[in-house]
Amino acid sequence: MDASRREFLKSTGGAAAAALLGFDLKPAYAQLQELKIARARVTQATCPYCAVGCGVLIYTIGDNAKNVTPQVLHVEGDPDHPTNRGTLCPKGASLHQDILNPRRLLKPQVRRPGSDQWEDITWDQALDEIAHRMKKTRDDTLVEKDSQGRTVNRCEGLAWIGGCTDTNEFNYLVVKSMRAMGLTYIENQARL
């Protein structure tokens, strides 16, 4: 698709306009665009914002080679997607700045009781503490039988709340593992 679009721009856009006006910048712009994404890999993705679910194309260079981090060059609407047909709204059009954003969280941190600041923590330490806390809270608050003697096996002290941009697969994994731990406080942005 990309090759044919570029071919189309190259072969028709400039020529037609130049014939009318005698002078036109379009071929130069097309050339720039081509240079920018010429060696890029195209990834088909879905916009993370509203539920229209626009198709987006993410252009990266880096070629998946080992020790090379792909760099995002450009994000645009997917012209093949039946719903958005290449268009994006102002939010979608700024996705590049969401992917490459200096405010991204880059390391695990912990705020200890009474503290006024974040401390860095290793992943291993953070996950170890979280797992111990989950087990302890579960063991402390699991109700196996209710007051009428009925088996209920629910954990009343733990809650999970999730977002609405997570994938179906992630949500399935969450429901699977959290229900297994006995959670009934499972809620989601979808409620709101």
Binding of other proteins by 119 (CB under 8 A): no
Structure tokens, 84: 């958005």
Task: Using CB under 8 A, count the residues that bind other proteins.
Answer: 118
> Which tokens belong to 61?
């260079």
**Please, what is the minimum distance in Å from the beta carbon of residue 5 to other proteins?**
14
Nearer to other proteins, 14 or 92 (CB): 92
Q: Does 127 bind other proteins (CB under 8 A)?
A: yes
54 binding other proteins? (CB under 8 A): yes
Rounded Cα distance between 12 and 17, Å, is 8
Name the token pair of 4: 């044919």
Please give the radius of gyration of the chain, using alpha carbons only, rounded to the nearest integer. Answer: 25
Q: In the 8-state DSSP scheme, what is residue 40?
A: -
Give the nearest distance from C-beta 56 to other proteins in angstroms: 9
Rule CB under 8 A: choose which of 35, 51, 65, 67 binds other proteins.
51
Contacts of 158 (CB under 8 A, 6+ apart): 134, 137, 138, 141, 181, 182, 183, 185
Contact positions with other proteins (CB under 8 A) in 10-49:
41, 43-49
Restricting to residues 68-107, name those near other proteins by CB under 8 A: 69-72, 77, 80-84, 87-95, 97-99, 101, 103-107
Nearer to other proteins, 29 or 185 (CB): 185
- Does 190 sit near other proteins (CB under 8 A)? yes
Q: How far apart are CA 84 and CA 55, in angstroms?
A: 7
Neighbours of 40 (CB within 10 A): 20
* Residues 13, 85: Cα–Cα separation, whole Å: 20
Binding range to other proteins, per CB under 8 A, among 5-13, 16-24, 26-34, 167-175: 167-175
